[in-house]
Amino acid sequence: MKLLNRIYIALLGVGLTATLNACDEKLDLSPANTIEQSEALLTSQDVKSALIGAYNRLGVSDLYGGRIFLEPDLLAGQSAIAWGGTYTGLTQIYSQSIPTNNTFVSNLWISAYEAINLLNNVLGSIDKVDTEDRDRVEGEAKFLRGLIYFDLVRLYGKAWNDGDPATNLGVPLVLTPTSVIDEESYVSRATVVAVYQQVLADLTDAKVKLPASNSFYANSYAASAILSRVYLQQGDYQNAANEATTVINSEKYQLVDNFADEFPYPGAVHVDNTLEDIFAFQVTPQQGSNSLNEFYASSDNGGRGDIEIKSSFIAQYEEGDERTSVYYDDAGSTRTSKFDNMYGNIKVIRLAELYLTRAESNLRLGTTIGDTPLNDINKIRTRANLSPATTVTVQDVLKQRELELAFEVGSFFHDAKRTEQSIGTLPYSSPKLVFPIPQREIYANPNIQQNQGY
């Protein structure tokens, strides 16, 4: 055997030794774009980042990116809007015939509980937050959790005033973080009362713990404002008026001079909250989404233009009402410019609603908590460049509410429910006006009961 061959074989031996040593640790690879959960919530900063993440998750298009407000309006706003889009799931909602596999109904549910789990993770690790920030972080998390549960129970459960809320089913209440899928994951639906109680508990706690000022995040007035909306939905007019008064009297917010200025559109760019905005989900080119723009705005303004405003609705504005300036003709189609800025924030609640809530509550109670209904309604009328009214009825307030808040927060649907108004030929209590529990959830969890009519 030649020497050369021995060298080859020796080299082979060396090579083999090297490769066989290349062993098990070669299989220990870690992700680079994500981190393991065991490393994610260790410090105060980590928990605060998860809270920011919760704003992000609640701002997706299926939730406060706009569809959580758009979809109820599609279901109940046929007198004001004409749907002309090709998303079959939304056509089903507009035609009040929602199959249980409707993707929009399903995605809203999935996205909401994803955000809730993140909020529960924040609250579950709240003791890791620095003491000086702990109340604020807890307050924001509870505010957001109360807000989303309130919208969930209004969409997937019967109205508070429809039958017995103590036995009617709401949505499952999940209040602890999920670390494993086990038997406890197979939850049942809580009653409407139980969900409202949780909403009130979270928002009340948030109101106490949140500071009065908190940049574009939720502050204590945001909690009061949403509480006012919850109480109104329940017909608890006293508390609704009280909470509205708390916000109004703070003088932290004011109605902008011109109605159209509440919907600024200096170009497709992010705009900070207006003086009137109490709480809004922030939209920038990088983060957040504006699904109201997607469906209401013309394609000139980055939307699909799937929704037109019916002229019969615009005819309800009084002569000279400046609020008609947010409607325009787009080649024969009437559209609203409220959402023309594709990077405009999604307003969750603004001051005008609280005047309207307080006026209605005081009228119904015969009280003047905070101010008289006439003064409150004239704040709205005057800003709209209308002459002040001399008398006011509940019907007047409801009409102003419809005209003022149209398309913004799902009020066609939610107001019809609490005032028990028929929608077309359907009574407010029709099972067709309640979202089905998504079919995928029924399949995945045998403990979930489907709604009546599905």
Q: Say which residue the tokens 């809270």 belong to.
A: 51
Choose the binding region for another protein from 47-55, 69-77, 138-146, 192-200 (rule: CB under 8 A). Answer: 47-55
Q: Tell me: does residue 210 bind another protein (CB under 8 A).
A: no
Q: Binder to another protein among 88, 167, 213, 449 (CB under 8 A)?
A: 88
Q: Binder to another protein among 127, 133, 167, 186 (CB under 8 A)?
A: 186
The nearest distance, CB 384 to another protein, in angstroms, is 27
298 to 317: interface string for another protein, x by CB under 8 A? xxx-xx-x------------
Choose the binding region for another protein from 45-53, 140-148, 315-323, 371-379 (rule: CB under 8 A). Answer: 45-53
- Pair of tokens at residue 341: 């800025």
Contacts of 125 by beta carbon, 8 Å cutoff, 6+ apart: 41, 46, 47, 50
> How big is the chain, counted in residues?
454
Q: What are phi and psi of 273, to 5 degrees?
A: -55, 145
Torsion angle of C-alpha atoms 163, 165, 170, 172, degrees rounded to 10? -150
- The C-alpha atoms of residue 438 and residue 382 are separated, in whole angstroms, by 45
Q: Tell me: does residue 211 bind another protein (CB under 8 A).
A: no
The nearest distance, CB 310 to another protein, in angstroms, is 9
Q: Tell me: does residue 187 bind another protein (CB under 8 A).
A: yes
Q: Tell me: does residue 263 bind another protein (CB under 8 A).
A: no
Cβ proximity of 63 and 55 under 8 Å: no
Of 59 and 139, CB closest to another protein: 59
Of 97 and 449, CB closest to another protein: 97
Chain residues 314-353 in contact with another protein, contact rule CB under 8 A: 330-333, 342
269 to 288: interface string for another protein, x by CB under 8 A? -x-----------x-xxxxx
Q: Binder to another protein among 83, 317, 327, 328 (CB under 8 A)?
A: 83
- Pair of tokens at residue 14: 């060396």
- The C-alpha atoms of residue 120 and residue 136 are separated, in whole angstroms, by 15
216 to 235: interface string for another protein, x by CB under 8 A? x-------------------
Q: Tell me: does residue 213 bind another protein (CB under 8 A).
A: no
Cβ proximity of 278 and 229 under 8 Å: no
Q: Tell me: does residue 114 bind another protein (CB under 8 A).
A: yes
- The C-alpha atoms of residue 44 and residue 50 are separated, in whole angstroms, by 10
- Pair of tokens at residue 83: 């749907």
DSSP 79-137: TTEEE----HHHHHHHTT---TT-HHHHHHHHHHHHHHHHHHHHHHTGGGS-HHHHHHH
The nearest distance, CB 118 to another protein, in angstroms, is 6
